[in-house]
Amino acid sequence: FYEPELFRLFSRIKRLAENTGRSQSFYINQMIENEIDRIEWEYSILRDVEAHRAGRLETVSNDELKAALGLAD
């Protein structure tokens, strides 16, 4: 644990485990389970942005979308 932020994080987990009687791995698993959906969603957005910039993602203009939905003026 050479990174100060990582050291502080694990110190907090250790303290929480000691104060609650649960294991450190319980809290680490909770953290992973609570964040995995958000992280996957963020990376899917990044992939879409990269695909768009590379011209691999089909897009439509706002006017085309309105027309397709029957909302055109």
Task: Extract the tokens encoding 71.
Answer: 């909302």
pLDDT in tens, 21-59: 999 999 999 999 999 999 999 999 999 999 999 999 989
Please list, residue by residue across 7-24, b when 16 or more beta carbons sit within 10 angstroms of its beta carbon and e when fewer do: eeeeeebeeebeeeeeee
β strands within 1-73, DSSP E: none
pLDDT at site 43: 97
- 1 pLDDT above the threshold of 60: no
